[in-house]
């Protein structure tokens, strides 16, 4: 998937104990919001499929993160998802 180029450009290049969601430029809150809107509202079926594919990719990355968090507490507390959920404090 093309969006994984995003993982390659991230620094450091490969870190299995880092959640990609919120970290990579194309995996942060605003792009994900755009993918949701695109998947819902875009009429062109090919472009729409691309947005759905992107969303599905975010979903699989998210599952990876949850799996990682289940055995790595520090991975969770240092992730962007943790910051989103604890935005109020
Ligand atoms: Zn990804």
Query: Alpha-carbon distance 17 to 39, whole Å?
Result: 30
Q: How far is the CA of 62 from the centre of ligand 1 (A)?
A: 9
Q: How far is the CA of 89 from the centre of ligand 1 (A)?
A: 28
| Predicted TM-score (pTM) of this structure | 0.79
Q: How far is the CA of 7 from the centre of ligand 1 (A)?
A: 6
Q: How far is the CA of 22 from the centre of ligand 1 (A)?
A: 10
Count the neighbouring beta carbons within 10 Å of the beta carbon of residue 3. 18
- In this predicted model, what pLDDT tens digit does every residue of 41-88 receive, in sequence order? 999 999 999 999 999 999 998 998 999 999 999 999 989 899 889 876
Q: At what angle do helices 45-71 and 29-41 cross, to 10 degrees?
A: 140
- In this predicted model, what pLDDT tens digit does every residue of 10-44 receive, in sequence order? 655 556 667 888 888 889 999 999 999 999 999 99
């Amino acid at each position: 998937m093309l969006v994984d180029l995003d993982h390659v450009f991230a620094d450091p290049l490969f870190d299995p104990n880092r959640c990609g969601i919120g970290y990579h430029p194309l995996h942060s809150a605003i792009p994900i919001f755009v993918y949701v809107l695109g998947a819902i509202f875009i009429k062109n079926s090919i472009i729409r499929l691309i947005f759905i594919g992107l969303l599905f990719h975010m979903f699989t990355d998210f599952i990876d993160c949850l799996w990682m968090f289940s055995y790595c507490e520090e991975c969770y507390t240092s992730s962007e998802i943790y910051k989103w959920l604890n935005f109020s404090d």
